[in-house]
């Protein structure tokens, strides 16, 4: 999940068991399920030890004081909620995630349509070029963006100066810095939406469009009454999935601004890193991370529901 | 008679004209798409282009800070030769390769075994486990890195590159398992029944039938694990402190940026070198990866 941008719109029908033979096969079946369990054991251990246990441990940690010597209950959470900085963090995380995801979804949709028009042997080349932002490791391409946003002698400011405008302190003031982080995220994530929507567009049967034209539908009507309803499920799965990943994003903000100027670009992950790892207040850092949990859980619930529905659609 | 022929003639001509105009319309739509796509491609490729341009500039040209930054006046490879003889950079590269190879190997073994077990054999609770695997995939790295920091500390792997080999599989395995479950489920049941009748064991069946047949899925999952391990930034940044333990992403940022001194030429050259392995892999295997990602999406 580098940028974690990948989605498993795949089957949720793992353990379809064969009808069980009734009598003499029972021992065989028991042996079979033991082997099955042993084969899945590494996975179970991995999830239990390095995902489930840390999750509960995080909840425990978040209820300790800074030196981790005393139990303080929900004090960390109330402390955070009363801090101006943290209120900013909540606002910025939502702004960052929602704006980026909406822009990525719109641009990805446009790109998918454009790519759909030119289907042919050149499609692969175009797709390859458009996927470049998504292929380069995000931390590295963000470095380039940082360099382009540099205030003194940067690529963008030079262009602005040539056109007769003043230099912009891209990462130096609150709202432009927020705009820059969103811009980089959109640049990185749009190709993923494009891929998902291209696959979805391909799956819309051509006859539906023909039928719509016979009924006299124009291009916009076709979009709203044929394309969008047919793609609805994929769109929602992709958007929700991207929402989770964008919400939890760390790389972009950390490298571009480290949360500055005046904490005006911090998101949950970077703020948790600053408080928990850099300042060494592990319990407070853990509680910051945990604030993501409810939002992620709601999104995850709907993704799962979407995937299940999708599976049923495929099955029937 | 003549009237009718004239009529049919004109009708034919009209039909032809309409077909022509339709053809024209299509042509225009095609060129319009190409034009719009070109704009997008240019916008998308600006940062990579600028990375390469900067990596070819000498330190003198960088510090002069005059002229057009978008072109190179005196292209030079000095940044690349510097990096390729710079022990720290080679160390980062070696660490990244080692962590990635180990992560991919471990993740693939775990996920292929468990996907086979979950999709074909099943045991009490295997359905729940499959759903749990999917939920685990939705857990982002930034949610649990602080408790993991403590746990890694207990094990004594803080500031040790091997802690990444332990942690990256948690990010890679869930999705790899998920892809493999999908591919394994699409293999017809008759195949494994035939194998069982011929006296093959489960492992033999997995090795001789499932893995070869599901090769596209295995490639997709491998690329995913590779991407996770190669590009990860948060875990190495949080758990590694000293130069000899760092991987590329963190190493470039903390070693080539010293205080306020930014050696941008070298940083950009390092970015280019570090992006080569993923770009090469994606250039050849992109189709498999996309098929893996969108497998369910196209089936509708």
Which alpha helices (DSSP H) does chain A contain, by range? 26-47, 53-61, 75-81, 84-117, 123-135, 138-148, 155-162, 174-202, 206-214, 219-222, 228-247, 251-256, 268-272, 282-290, 292-315
Closest by CA position to A43, among listed B128, B140, B111? B111
The position carrying tokens 């999935």 is: A241
In this structure, the answer to whether residues A189 and A53 fall within a common structural domain is: no
Flag if B40 and A130 touch (Cβ within 8 Å): yes
Pick A139's closest partner by Cβ from B124, B179, B233.
B233
Sorted by sequence, the CB contacts under 8 Å of residue B222 that are 6+ apart come out as B104, B108, B176
For A158-174, the pLDDT digits (tens) are 888 888 888 788 888 88
Higher pLDDT pick, B154 / A303: B154
In this structure, the answer to whether residues A115 and A94 fall within a common structural domain is: yes
Q: Considering the domain boundaries, does residue A10 fall inside one?
A: no
pLDDT, position A36: 86
Q: Considering the domain boundaries, does residue A306 fall inside one?
A: yes
pLDDT, position B234: 93
Flag if A2 and B230 touch (Cβ within 8 Å): yes
pLDDT, position B1: 42
Portion of chain B with pLDDT greater than 70, in percent: 90
Can you give the residue ranges of every domain in chain B? Answer: 2-44, 86-299
Fold adopted by B86-299: MetI-like fold (1.10.3720)
Q: What residues in A contact B167, CB-CB < 8 Å?
A: 50
In this structure, the answer to whether residues A83 and A122 fall within a common structural domain is: yes
Strand B257-258 versus strand B261-262 pairing type: antiparallel
In this structure, the answer to whether residues A108 and A179 fall within a common structural domain is: yes
Q: Considering the domain boundaries, does residue A18 fall inside one?
A: no
What whole-number distance in Å separates Cα of residue A3 and Cα of residue A189?
A: 8
In this structure, the answer to whether residues A251 and A301 fall within a common structural domain is: yes
Going from the C-alpha of B64 to that of each of A143, A144, B67, the distances in angstroms are: 21, 19, 9
Q: Considering the domain boundaries, does residue A301 fall inside one?
A: yes
Q: Considering the domain boundaries, does residue A19 fall inside one?
A: no
Query: What's the total number of domains in chain A?
Result: 2
Flag if B296 and A17 touch (Cβ within 8 Å): no
pLDDT at A23 over 80: no
In this structure, the answer to whether residues A57 and A83 fall within a common structural domain is: no
Going from the C-alpha of A68 to that of each of A61, A120, A285, B239, the distances in angstroms are: 8, 62, 12, 20
In this structure, the answer to whether residues A142 and A261 fall within a common structural domain is: yes
User: Which CATH number fits the domain that encloses residue A97?
Assistant: 1.10.3720.10
| C-beta atoms surrounding B19 within 10 Å | 10
Pick A153's closest partner by Cβ from B65, B133, B178.
B65
Closest by CA position to A53, among listed B110, B116, B155? B155
In the predicted model, what is the mean pLDDT of residues A136-165? 87
pLDDT, position A2: 39
Q: What residues in A contact B179, CB-CB < 8 Å?
A: 8, 10
Flag if A2 and B290 touch (Cβ within 8 Å): no
In this structure, the answer to whether residues A194 and A125 fall within a common structural domain is: yes
Q: Considering the domain boundaries, does residue A37 fall inside one?
A: yes
Q: Give contacts of A 184-203 with B, CB under 8 A.
A: 187, 190-191, 195-196, 199-200, 202-203
pLDDT, position B10: 58
In this structure, the answer to whether residues A168 and A31 fall within a common structural domain is: no
DSSP bridge partners of B262: B257
For A90-127, the pLDDT digits (tens) are 999 999 999 999 999 999 999 998 998 887 778 888 88
pLDDT class of A139 with cuts at 50, 70, 90: very high
In the predicted model, what is the mean pLDDT of residues A21-38? 73
pLDDT at B168 over 80: yes
What whole-number distance in Å separates Cα of residue B221 and Cα of residue B183?
A: 11
Portion of chain A with pLDDT greater than 70, in percent: 89
Flag if B177 and A46 touch (Cβ within 8 Å): no
pLDDT, position B28: 82
What whole-number distance in Å separates Cα of residue B221 and Cα of residue B55?
A: 33
Domain boundary among A34, A61, A88: A61
In this structure, the answer to whether residues A256 and A281 fall within a common structural domain is: yes
In this structure, the answer to whether residues A44 and A153 fall within a common structural domain is: no
In this structure, the answer to whether residues A120 and A99 fall within a common structural domain is: yes
Query: Residue A31 is part of which domain span?
Result: 26-61
Going from the C-alpha of B1 to that of each of A85, B4, B5, B12, the distances in angstroms are: 90, 5, 6, 16
pLDDT at A80 over 60: yes
């Amino acid at each position: 999940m580098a940028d974690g941008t990948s989605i498993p719109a795949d089957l949720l029908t793992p353990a379809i068991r064969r009808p069980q033979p009734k009598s003499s096969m029972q021992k065989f079946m028991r042996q079979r399920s033991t082997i099955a369990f042993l084969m899945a054991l590494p996975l179970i251990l991995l999830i239990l030890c390095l995902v489930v246990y840390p999750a509960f441990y995080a909840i425990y940690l978040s209820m300790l004081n800074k030196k981790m010597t005393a139990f303080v209950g929900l004090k960390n959470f109330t402390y955070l909620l009363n801090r101006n900085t943290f209120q900013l963090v909540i606002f910025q995380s939502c702004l960052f995630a929602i704006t980026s995801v909406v822009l990525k979804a719109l641009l990805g949709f446009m790109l998918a349509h454009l790519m759909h028009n030119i289907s042919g042997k050149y499609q692969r080349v175009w797709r390859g070029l458009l996927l470049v932002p998504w292929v380069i490791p995000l931390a590295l391409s963000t470095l380039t963006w940082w360099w382009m946003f540099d205030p003194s002698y940067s690529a963008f400011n030079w262009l602005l100066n040539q056109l007769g405008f003043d230099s912009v302190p891209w990462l130096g003031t609150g709202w432009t810095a927020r705009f820059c982080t969103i811009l980089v995220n959109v640049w990185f994530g749009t190709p993923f939406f494009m891929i998902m929507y291209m696959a979805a567009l391909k799956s819309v049967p051509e006859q539906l469009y023909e039928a719509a034209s016979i009924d006299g539908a124009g291009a916009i009507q076709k979009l709203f009454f044929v394309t969008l309803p047919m793609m609805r499920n994929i769109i929602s799965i992709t958007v929700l999935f991207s929402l989770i990943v964008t919400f939890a994003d760390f790389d972009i903000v950390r490298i571009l601004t480290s949360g500055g100027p005046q904490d005006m670009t911090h998101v949950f992950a970077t703020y948790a890193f600053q408080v928990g790892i850099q300042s060494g207040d592990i319990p407070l850092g853990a509680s910051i991370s945990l604030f993501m949990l409810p939002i992620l859980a709601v999104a995850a619930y709907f993704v799962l529901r979407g995937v299940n529905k999708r599976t049923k659609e495929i099955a029937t | 008679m003549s009237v009718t022929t004239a009529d049919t003639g004109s009708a034919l001509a009209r039909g032809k004209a309409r077909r022509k105009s339709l053809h024209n319309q299509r042509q225009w739509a095609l060129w319009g798409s190409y034009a719009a796509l070109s704009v997008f491609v240019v916008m998308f490729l600006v940062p990579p282009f600028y990375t390469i341009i900067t990596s070819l500039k000498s330190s003198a040209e960088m510090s002069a800070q005059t002229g057009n930054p978008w072109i190179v006046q005196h292209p030079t490879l000095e940044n690349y030769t510097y990096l390729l003889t710079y022990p720290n950079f080679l160390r980062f590269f070696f660490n990244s390769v080692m962590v990635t190879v180990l992560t991919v190997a471990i993740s693939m073994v775990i996920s292929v075994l468990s996907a086979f077990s979950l999709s074909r054999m099943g045991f009490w609770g295997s359905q729940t486990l499959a759903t749990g695997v999917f939920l685990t995939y939705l857990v982002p790295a930034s949610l649990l890195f602080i408790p993991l920091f403590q746990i890694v500390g207990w094990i004594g792997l803080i500031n040790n590159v091997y802690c990444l080999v332990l942690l990256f599989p948690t990010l890679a395995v869930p999705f790899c398992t998920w892809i493999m479950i999908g591919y394994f489920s699409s293999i017809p049941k008759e195949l494994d029944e035939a194998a069982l009748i011929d006296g093959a064991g489960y492992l033999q069946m997995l090795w001789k039938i499932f893995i070869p047949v599901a090769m596209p899925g295995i490639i997709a999952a491998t690329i995913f694990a590779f991407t996770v391990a190669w590009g990860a930034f948060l875990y190495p940044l949080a758990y590694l402190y000293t130069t000899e333990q760092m991987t590329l992403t963190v190493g470039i940022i903390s070693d080539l940026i010293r205080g306020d001194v930014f050696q941008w030429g070298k940083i950009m050259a390092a970015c280019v070198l570090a992006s080569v392995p993923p770009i090469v892999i994606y250039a050849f295997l992109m189709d498999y990866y996309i098929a893996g990602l969108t497998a369910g999406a196209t089936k509708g």
